[in-house]
Amino acid sequence: MSRPVFGDLAGQQRVIDTLCAEVDRGNPTHAWLVTGPPGSGRTTAARAFAAALQCTTSPAGCGECENCKLVLASSHPDVSFVSTDKFEYQIADVRHLITRAQESASTGRWRIIIIEDADRMSERSTNVLLKAIEEPPARMIWILCAPSPADVLVTIRSRCRAVNLSVPSTADVADLLVRRDGLDPQQALFAARVSQSHIGVARLLARDEQARIQREKVVTLPLRTTTLPQAMAAAAEISKLATERAENITGTDLQKKTEQLRHANGLGPEETIPPGLRGQFKALEEDAKRFARRASFDALDRTLTDLTTFFRDVLSLQLGTGIELINEHLREKLEAYSQGQSKEKSLAQLDAINQTRSRLAANVNQLMALEALMTRLLPNPGRR
């Protein structure tokens, strides 16, 4: 049976079958934990599941009825999509969700709340949510999304039915990009491979030449960084790019929200903010700062993930695995690099990148962490 709402899930037939069976049963489990690696389609799966649950046709999940269209557009009054621009949810955010969960469905069959990044809940926030998940109102469904079950407290995990998405194949992601976005097959396949099957990143790389150029600069950094001064310059460049990207995103978002708040309070663009409203505008600025920190971290983490692919390819060549390289277009340069150092050195370089990602997540000084990393990534003395 065709279920168009699940059409954007690449290579996840097992999960689709599980969710469809639950929809058809008519009495779905009240709490779900959807896990899978970044780019596998966690939110896409949750959205499709919610649309199928609200669908009024048979088989459910037509993608054409009013309920399906509203859910897929994130506009259905009974389906809430929750995410955070901060490093973690605040307790006040969770209490607001619990209040929302008590509301009865207005037009749909179910009241559904989808938490897109449940891994960003602190232990205190999760404990506040626990009772609401244990004792939900009638016809209320929670769908939590996280990279892995381990990212959610066991008390929540044990009360949810789990579905785990796998990393889709390169071919599946490329097929989705061609079918859904009308992209050139060759470009789609390249993007799927270098993104390591991360659907969102693959789509960006396939459509945005500037994104491809920026990734190429990052991946080829080891080829251009052979001295200590070059390593320091590379660290500063990575840090600057991440900061600028975060500031651009944050500035646009803050301006938009500030304009909306002014309009809601009847204030003109140049009109002075009354004392009674200054607290609201100050709160917007504080949220923007938190958003900037997260955006900077996310940009850096993606950069280091791209950098990892260079050394993974080098190690693959050294081990003679025979598998297709992530950066197949750089094969000759990768082969030359791999012949100039030991497998142990390549493993140490990969370990250095992973350690740096963990340190940045722990909020260490960004530039210092990157300088230390680029120093450890330098080739062996006398290699060139």
User: Does residue 382 sit within a domain?
Assistant: no
Q: Are 148 and 12 found together in one domain? A: yes
Q: Are 13 and 136 found together in one domain? A: yes
User: Does residue 255 sit within a domain?
Assistant: yes
Q: Are 200 and 106 found together in one domain? A: no
CA 19, 33, 15 angle in degrees (round to 5)?
30
For residue 202, what are the domain limits?
Answer: 170-207
| Of residues 96, 44, 94, the one with CA closest to residue 71 | 44
Spatial distance between the Cα atoms of 314 and 322, rounded to a whole number of angstroms: 12
Find out whether 39 and 199 touch, Cβ atoms under 8 Å. yes
Confidence at residue 293, expressed as pLDDT on a 0 to 100 scale: 67
Find out whether 3 and 52 touch, Cβ atoms under 8 Å. yes
Contacts for 59-64: CB closer than 8 Å, 24+ residues apart? 59/1, 59/2, 59/3, 59/20, 59/24, 60/3, 60/20, 60/23, 60/24, 61/3, 61/4, 61/5, 61/6, 61/20, 61/23, 62/4, 62/5, 63/4, 63/5, 63/7, 64/4
Q: Are 153 and 262 found together in one domain? A: no
Confidence at residue 47, expressed as pLDDT on a 0 to 100 scale: 96
User: Does residue 222 sit within a domain?
Assistant: no
3-class secondary-structure state, position 143: strand
Distances (CA, A) of 383 to 289, 311, 346: 43, 16, 14
Q: Are 24 and 159 found together in one domain? A: yes
Confidence at residue 384, expressed as pLDDT on a 0 to 100 scale: 44
Find out whether 120 and 88 touch, Cβ atoms under 8 Å. yes
| Of residues 208, 200, 299, the one with CA closest to residue 248 | 299
Residue 52 contacts by C-beta under 8 Å, 6 or more apart in sequence?
A: 3, 5, 6, 19, 20, 23, 60, 61, 68
Residues of the chain under the 50 pLDDT cut: 382-384
pLDDT digits (tens, 9 = 90+) for 270-307: 778 777 767 766 765 666 566 666 677 788 888 899 99
Contacts for 180-183: CB closer than 8 Å, 24+ residues apart? 180/7, 180/8, 181/206, 181/207, 183/207
User: Does residue 220 sit within a domain?
Assistant: no
Give the tokens for residue 378.
Answer: 């330098």
Q: Are 82 and 43 found together in one domain? A: yes
User: Does residue 212 sit within a domain?
Assistant: no
Q: Are 248 and 331 found together in one domain? A: yes
What's the gap between Cα 372 and its chain centre?
Answer: 26
Q: Are 272 and 323 found together in one domain? A: yes
Cα dihedral 295, 297, 303, 306 sign: negative
Find out whether 33 and 144 touch, Cβ atoms under 8 Å. yes
User: Does residue 214 sit within a domain?
Assistant: no
**Model pTM above 0.85:** no
Instruction: Specify the number of domains making up the chain.
Output: 3
Q: Are 112 and 132 found together in one domain? A: yes
Give the H or E element holding residue 278: helix 278-319
Tell me the chain's radius of gyration from C-alpha atoms: 23
User: Does residue 213 sit within a domain?
Assistant: no
| Of residues 375, 373, 380, 381, the one with CA closest to residue 229 | 375
Q: Are 250 and 370 found together in one domain? A: yes
Q: Are 27 and 155 found together in one domain? A: yes
User: Does residue 383 sit within a domain?
Assistant: no
Spatial distance between the Cα atoms of 78 and 322, rounded to a whole number of angstroms: 51
Spatial distance between the Cα atoms of 292 and 101, rounded to a whole number of angstroms: 30
Q: Are 104 and 188 found together in one domain? A: no
pLDDT digits (tens, 9 = 90+) for 303-320: 899 999 999 999 999 999
